[in-house]
């Protein structure tokens, strides 16, 4: 069965349909060669067409315990070759899947021209015209103004713990972030992406934590308002989109990257220790101006901000995914630092 990808640059790429259907989204790639289950269930890939640069995806099967959410998140999945296990999983969730094409050429196009809109048609009756029709309906990522509603919880969720009380603003949180916090005995309350400052206050947090998520941080205004309300009174932490939201709320600016960082081997240098760690990343926007915060870590490849800190106001953020799912464990200590920041702050708050 044939499959077609209509690209914003005018080309139509032909491949093999492994799961039928039509779809559209921003065409991006990841260099990860393991962790395909985590990548495909990562909410940060919402409204995107995910291309795997590694040639074979699926060589260790599909196990639900590795999922980062309860569904596949990209609109379409593309690889040089999918195993039957992965193809069947994608088809069972209604996600078009395409292989049998030169993903090296596709990735090169993204690197040279940037992440781009695309349309996809796959299946026995698929045509290039159908793919072009999908492309015509595809909008830019910044125009997905309500994308948070697609990936966030609808109602508050509680995770028991006897330690620090963490209120997690769910902008598309990976399950492994919650697990990393609860593993440190934190009591985690997960609130929707559009929670108000009053709703956050009702949880009496020791730390407010803004999660990862998809799309443009400018479209997560409610989370930014929470940061503005609590900064200086309650410790603030953030990961990925969370770092961007926090920076914007504190006078900073963000910008769209050409093709983003997506993979398991992004090198990050700590400016204080000069130590380099390898990190998992998945983002298409970055902090261009940290505002009131200080840049503490940078990407070795392009110098973009990977860590921000506000010592006087107890703010700590990371652009990458320190929970190590999937990927290296070099930066797991971030969660220890967040817990310590909250513990050190709590006595002072209680005495006011």
Respond yes or no: is residue 171 known to be catalytic: no
**Residue 213, annotated as binding a ligand:** yes
Catalytic residue among 26, 47, 306, 323: 323
CA–CA distance from 303 to each of 100, 266, 308 (Å)?
Answer: 35, 12, 13
**Residue 284, annotated as binding a ligand:** yes
Q: Which two tokens stand for residue 7?
A: 């690209």
**Residue 44, annotated as binding a ligand:** yes
Contact (Cβ atoms closer than 8 angstroms) between residue 237 and residue 207: yes
Respond yes or no: is residue 240 known to be catalytic: yes
**Which residues 6+ apart lie within 8 Å of 16 measured at CB?**
1, 2, 3, 98, 99, 100, 101
Edge-to-edge strands of the sheet including 236-239?
157-159, 187-192, 165-170, 207-210, 236-239, 315-318, 305-310, 294-299, 253-270, 276-289
Report how far residue 99's alpha carbon sits from residue 173's, in angstroms, rounded to the nearest whole number.
29
Contact (Cβ atoms closer than 8 angstroms) between residue 307 and residue 288: no
Describe the crossing of helices 221-230 and 241-249 by its angle, rounded to 10 degrees: 60
**Residue 159, annotated as binding a ligand:** no
Catalytic residue among 118, 240, 261, 306: 240
Respond yes or no: is residue 323 known to be catalytic: yes
**Residue 100, annotated as binding a ligand:** no
**Residue 119, annotated as binding a ligand:** no
**Residue 157, annotated as binding a ligand:** no
Q: Give a three-class secondary structure readout of 314-351.
A: CEEEECCECCCCCCCCCCCHHHHHHHHHHHHHHHHHHH
**Residue 244, annotated as binding a ligand:** yes
Annotated binding site for L-glutamine: 44, 213, 215, 241, 244, 282, 284-285
Residues forming the annotated binding site? Answer: 44, 213, 215, 241, 244, 282, 284-285
Supply the residues annotated as catalytic. 240, 321, 323
């Amino acid at each position: 069965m044939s499959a077609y990808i209509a690209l914003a640059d005018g080309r139509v790429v032909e491949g093999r349909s492994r799961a039928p259907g039509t779809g559209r989204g921003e065409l991006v790639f990841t260099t990860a060669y393991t962790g395909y289950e985590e990548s495909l269930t990562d909410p940060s890939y919402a409204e995107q067409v995910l291309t795997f640069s590694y040639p074979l995806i699926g060589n260790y099967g599909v196990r639900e315990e590795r999922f980062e959410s309860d569904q596949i998140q990209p609109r379409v999945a593309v690889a040089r070759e999918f195993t039957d296990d992965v193809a069947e999983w994608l088809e069972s969730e209604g996600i078009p899947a395409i292989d049998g094409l030169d993903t090296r050429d596709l990735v090169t196009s993204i690197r040279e021209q940037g992440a781009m809109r695309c349309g996809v048609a796959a299946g026995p009756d698929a045509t290039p015209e159908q793919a072009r029709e999908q492309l015509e309906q595809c909008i830019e990522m910044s125009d997905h103004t309500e994308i948070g509603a697609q990936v966030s919880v609808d109602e508050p969720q509680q995770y028991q713990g006897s330690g620090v009380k963490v209120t997690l603003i769910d902008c598309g949180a990976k399950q492994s972030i919650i697990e990393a916090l609860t593993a440190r005995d934190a009591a985690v309350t997960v609130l929707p992406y559009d929670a108000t400052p009053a709703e956050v206050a009702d949880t009496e947090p020791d730390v407010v934590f803004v999660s990862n998520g998809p799309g443009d941080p400018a479209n997560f205004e409610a989370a930014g308002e929470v940061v503005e309300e609590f900064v200086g009174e309650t410790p603030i932490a953030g990961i990925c989109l969370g770092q961007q939201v926090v920076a914007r709320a504190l006078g900073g600016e963000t910008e769209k990257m050409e093709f983003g960082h997506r993979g398991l081997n992004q090198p990050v240098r700590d400016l204080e220790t000069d130590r380099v760690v390898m990190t998992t990343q998945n983002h298409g926007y970055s902090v261009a101006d940290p505002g009131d915060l200080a840049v503490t870590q940078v990407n070795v490849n392009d110098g973009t901000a990977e860590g921000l800190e506000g010592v006087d106001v107890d703010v700590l953020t990371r652009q990458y995914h320190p929970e190590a799912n999937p990927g290296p464990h070099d930066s797991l200590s971030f969660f220890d630092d967040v817990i310590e920041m909250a513990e050190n702050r709590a006595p002072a708050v209680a005495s006011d």
